[in-house]
Amino acid sequence: MSIALADAGGASVATAGNAGKGAFAYCSQQYRVLFGAGTSGRLGEEAERLGIKRALVLTTSEQHDLGRRLGTGLSDRLAGLFTGARMHTPVEVTNEALRVVESRDIDGLVAIGGGSTVGLGKALSLRTGLPHIAMPTTYAGSEMTPILGETSNGIKTTQHSQDLVPDTVIYDVDLTLSLPPHISAASGLNAIAHAVEAFYAPNANPLTSLMAEDGIVALARALPRIMVAPADPGARRDALYGAWLCGICLGAVGMSLHHKLCHVLGGMFNLPHAETHAIVLPHAAAYNAAAAPEAMTRVARALHSANAPQGLFDLARQLGLPCALADIGMPEDGIVRAAEMAVRKPYANPRPIDHAPIEQLIAAAWRGDAPAQD
């Protein structure tokens, strides 16, 4: 893979064992990645390459102006702007956007924004088969994955399909320069979560582990610099590069307890996605630490910390992120309900997922405690 203007691969992996046990298989999925500064200027070229004649630009309401500005790069291929994307990809929002697609004879999608907007693009592309260009403005990484999390009636469910992977991803460092530092920090911790779980995934392999460690290194180096100098192009490039690597990991191997918990908490209580990841991650890492010692060693090394869970917790505090689920809107009486939901159909995980310790984990994250390892 290359970070120049080039094709880059996501991956699906099947193994006869864990990467640490020697045997693995790696299957690359081909999609096009443009990485650099100013690459958003090639949007029209990419739309033409994909045969798009009537594009619908997708954004959140907050990024309406950005969507309109970048949409001009499509020239007469721009057929509409939908600004209703929301976090956790509510099914009712997707249905509303689908009506716009059908009424305007749309033949291509351009998602400009973070995970909420990219998720909407995936949902529409899955339902319609239309080509999808993603232009990330955060470090969420969902543009690199064949995964879609949708919410209906307070329950978030996950789908996996190679049809969900965008046809082209345009990473433009310039689009991240105005991303507020606190959003950058939360989004970056969300990306790091993908890499942490990639180390101990049951289908981990040497390539994804290399990307995971390099991704954490790049983000841990970049995020504190962004807090001090948000317009530092070098820090922004490092963060976007790290997010790309972590996103590939998310798409390449299965995720575990941490992502299950965040899906449950986000869907049940409508919590902000990135902040939820930042708060839960140290506790999920502590829960798995004894069962995944090699993974914790690599995480600690990437963070320049003696202890992986504590290093993750300290990084979040250094970045000024909330450390308690209570601070982002989760009610205390939701702890038991969330634990009950989390142990249903649990993801593969190095340590068995049992109700009592999971409830303790969620309670500690709700209070904002430092991570406690068994």
Task: Give mean pLDDT, residues 205-231.
Answer: 97
In a domain, 5, yes or no: no
What does the mean pLDDT of the chain come to?
Answer: 91
User: Domain of 258?
Assistant: 181-367
Q: How far is CA 103 from CA 52, 117, 119, 155, 278, in A?
A: 17, 20, 21, 29, 40
Using DSSP's 3-state secondary structure scheme, residue 172 falls into strand
Q: CATH code at 275?
A: 1.20.1090.10
Does residue 191 sit in the same domain as residue 339? yes
* Mean pLDDT, range 264-272, rounded to an integer: 92
C-alpha span between 45 and 67 (Å, rounded): 17
Number of domains forming the structure of the chain: 2
Residue with tokens 């992502």: 259
**Per-residue model confidence as pLDDT tens digits over 71-94:** 999 999 999 999 999 988 999 999
In the predicted structure, residue 13 carries a pLDDT above the cut 50? no
Confidence of residue 151 (pLDDT cuts 50, 70, 90): confident
CATH of the domain at 164: 3.40.50.1970
| Band of residue 21 on the pLDDT scale cut at 50, 70, 90 | low
Q: What is the pTM of this model?
A: 0.86
- In the chain, % of residues over pLDDT 90: 81
Q: Are 161 and 195 part of one and the same domain?
A: no
Residues 100, 66 share a domain: yes
